[in-house]
Structure 1
Amino acid sequence: SIIGGDGVVVNPASNSTLVTDLGYRIPNLFRWEVYTPSCSNTVDVTVISNSLHNLADAGEDDFTVNSYARISARVIADTNITGKWSVQGGTGRFDNAVAANTLVRGLTTGINTMRWTLRGYGCEAYDEVQLRFAEEPIAGFDTDVISGCSPLTIAFSNTTIGQATYQWNFSDGKTSTLRSPDHTFERSGLYKVTLTATGLRKTDTISHFIEVLPSPTAAFLVANTKLYMPTPIANFYSNSPNAIKYWWKFGDGVSSTEKDPTHIYEEEGVYDVWFKVEDLKGCQDSVMMYNYIQVGDYGMMVFPNAFTPNTSFPNGGQYQADERRLDIFYPVSRNVETYKLEIFNQWGTKIFVSDDIFVGWDGFYKGESAAQGAYMYKASGTYKNGREFNESGEFILVR
């Protein structure tokens, strides 16, 4: 066991063993103990190491774009120990070969190995450092992602070493001279992206591949975009064959994840419809159809099958919207925008025309009371929701 100084006993149970990592030029005290069940005995051994192994440190390996570099070995305060640099691989010239911290010049392209050798107290040890020299520029770049769904926008991070101008080729017909551009690949495919860095000494290129996955296309159909109260039912159908997940928003606060949902709108209005899909690879697409669904009042028009006009004098056929008169022939209607009413006698002669929904037939023709009997009506026009109507039928004038 160790009882003083430094050291590692490789096999503490053996009477003959190796001790490593001894403290330099200090007493390193070790104890060997022998014992039986009834007694024991010990002997101590002091070891002083002059080994320079733990002192030889040439520093960290380095990379340079210049033909020179600074090297820094561990400084030893003991003047009885000297150090010296030497070239073990590649080339190099030292400004001061016996200084721990010095410049080495004339490096060759590639790996240059420098050795720092210590000598003292009859011992010698060394450590080596490698200097990699490459002429600039050295092209390089990273990306935030290497694959994704189309359209795929990628941020390119230029890691080129040294001064240079840049030319990017994205293999989709687009290029850039920015240092670190963002680029969007609109279509799916495998793209070879190449960066060319041009400097004063040389030109260097590097390429990486980007995979752009095809995205589904969000598309849908609806049976009718114009709906009418009181039952405005919209049947939606997905037209995205590669999709496996669906999200709908119908514009009235209601949503669905069905493939082909049916939705009933509660109020009149104009509604946007949003649709998103996702495929097996997780790629998504969405579409917003603005002012897509129009829900309006259906509009109505109901004519009577008989009326009894005032025989004393004509009244002009005018009535109010909330009136229910039996002496004028007119329809009960709602939400009429344009209107034309024509009345025909039994011989097909047109005897009355009105283009005002609040003016009906008062039963007079050319200032005379029309005869009792059957008459025909024809009404045409449009409702406020844009829907056209054409109504016709027979009614009885009763005296």
Structure 2
Amino acid sequence: MEQLSIRTFQYSDRFFSSMNVNPKVLFVANKFGGGGAERVTSILCNHFYAKGYRSGAVSIDEDHCSYELSQGVKMYGCQPCRQKHINIIKRLHLIKRVLSEFDPDIVVALGRPMKYVLAVTRGMQVQTVASERNYPPCIYSEREFCDCVKNYERASRVVFQTEEVQQLFPTDIVSKSKVIPNPLVTALPEYGGPCSKRIVTAARLEPQKNLRLLIDAFNLFREKVPGYCLDIFGDGSLRFELQQHINSLQLEDRVKLRPYSDDVHSEIRDAAIFVSSSDFEGMQNSLMEAMAMGIPCVATDCLGGGARLLTEGGRRGLLVERGNRKALAEAMIAVAVDRKLAEVLSCEGKSIACEKHQLEILNAWEQFLVYGY
């Protein structure tokens, strides 16, 4: 870590003392659609621009952004095509063009785009920062994980969301890394208590989220606690498959697959319970936001440690065994029938807003990217 401090001090001194200007920071992501990593990236772009940095964003798989970016944030993107090899060429060409035009001092790549950034910046005087947003053993093959490790070894610095994920990597990567949790969005609507018999979740309709488990748990739940419905907000590749499963359980009237909503917080503000059923995660933004609103939460103890960290092992939200539909159903039943328990979880969950205060988290990013600590 001492070697890192020396290197970044020289770097920051070059800009703050000699040139008297802030460094230019470029953020690279797969896309800026409705995902958690993309939301965090947009918040970071806006923060750095507001602090006087020249800030830019690159989407290697889309040419638009679903999140609001400050007017001064330069946005770059391209549309993918069906041919994989052509997509690789297009991404490399895009990043190379942006580096030439934007001339960044720091490039932050969230997730997989790091390999493209490193390929293009080889030999350039630019700081490269990797940010791991998920649980690598579940999203990479063995060979891909080895490549990931090599990429992070080449990066100037690395950001992780949880210590559990950080400890998956060799000591030389850990020594130049920092754990920074996701920032909480501001201006969340106030939770006024359960005004409806609704259980809700907000997640991409992908295998990682294990929404089939949630549907099965709800099917057990409704046998003990009738009158409730389940609303699932999100888009993804499993919509048809999940709808077929809902139909097979004859739950069409009780379980609804709602589309992704930019205003999902208002959509769920009267819910009785929020559930996260993921098998693995970095850190679930939707769970964190529901807790901060005051919605009683239930979560699976997913790989990556995010849910365990957010719920404090079950104190601020009920934590159940990953993949256990019976345990998940029992936790949902407990919250639904025990008003006192629901009130305690609501109150304890709100405390997360202080710990994950957006400005403190963003300042931690700035300290690490610019000064190296």
TM-score normalised by structure 2 residue count: 0.17
Which structure features the higher share of strand residues? 1
Which structure features the higher share of helix residues? 2
- Higher RCO structure (Cα 8 Å, ≥6 apart): 2
**Greater C-alpha radius of gyration:** 1
